[in-house]
Amino acid sequence: MGKLLLAPMEGLVDDVLRDVLTRVGAYDLAVSEFIRVSGNLLPPRAFRRLCPELDNGSRTRAGTPLVVQLLGSDPACMAENAAQLVELAPAGIDLNFGCPAPTVNRHGGGAMLLADPEQLLRIAAAVRRVVPAEIPFTAKMRLGVRDTAKTLDCARALAAGGIVALVVHARTRTDGYRPPAHWEWIARIRAVVETPVVANGEVWTVADHARCCAVSGSDDVMIGRGAVADPFLARRIRAQAAREVVAVDRSDDWRQLQPLLASYWQQVCAKVAARHAPGRLKLWLGSLRRNFVEAEALFMAIRTLAGVEEISRVLELHGIPAQKPPA
């Protein structure tokens, strides 16, 4: 089967959740949340702060390679920062042309750049010149801003700019995350560029993955929210491909997930202020409720709690060995 990639998800997946999700296994690589480039040369510590994996050979603790994603609209500034990043030896450099967030788009970044294929080419070509061949250089795009009028032109521009792979989230900026994902457009993109194309969007289950591959024609798939909602999804996809039995009962998966939830909670408490840690845990549990009844029960038990110690006590009652976080 093809590759499985863990998607960048600003505000949802950071180095802590990447650590936990890649420990479950089955991902060929992960892509970081974007690092915003907005006119200045970022110091090395800025890259390391968002991507501490750079100090571990650009790999998660489980050994999954981490590609670092940049977001910006100025070709020269993007190239200058990419050159700085090259010195930190990332497992790859990716450019973000897909973020639909208004805070990014109102400054002309992310998916808004899809209105100008020539600017995409200028940015990609400028970065290509400073990224050595041994570091994979890729990009991620959506189908467009409001429609698909320039979809193929954008894909051609990025391919001409020198990327070695293109991830396509099969929705426009206006679509946001509303289903469906238009996987058929990925097939149309594959027909006009020689660059390998990775499919992305609306893969929540093993069956979704199979349909995505069949419709898009792509063997390589990037999984985002589906991976957060089901940390075992990539493993289940690989089991299906190997013609192994994929269990319908998820109780064993929940037992395996409990120590990972404990690790996540401990790492979050060590990383962020105590007032922010509960929200991070609730956010992940909110996604897990889609697949695990136990997550629903746990979410409801902590939903109104705001204290780290009281949440830790509830986690213990639910079989999650939450050690007392550092003071």
Could you tell me if 30 and 10 are in contact, meaning their C-beta atoms sit under 8 angstroms apart?
Answer: no
- Taking the C-alpha atoms of residue 83 and residue 177, their distance in angstroms, rounded to an integer, is 33
DSSP helix/strand/coil, 30: strand
Instruction: Using alpha carbons, select from 262, 204, 264, 199 the residue that is nearest to residue 236.
Output: 204
Angle (CA) 244-19-264 rounded to 5° is: 105
Instruction: Indicate if 99 belongs to the active site.
Output: yes
User: Which sign does the torsion angle of CA 29, 34, 37, 41 carry?
Assistant: negative
CA dihedral 3, 225, 238, 184 (to 10 degrees): -60
Q: Please count the other Cβ atoms lying within 10 Å of the Cβ belonging to residue 187.
A: 16
Catalytic residue among 51, 77, 99, 154: 99
- Taking the C-alpha atoms of residue 75 and residue 64, their distance in angstroms, rounded to an integer, is 30
Q: Which residues contact 112 (CB under 8 A, 6 or more apart)?
A: 104, 105, 145, 173
Query: Annotated catalytic sites, by residue?
Result: 99
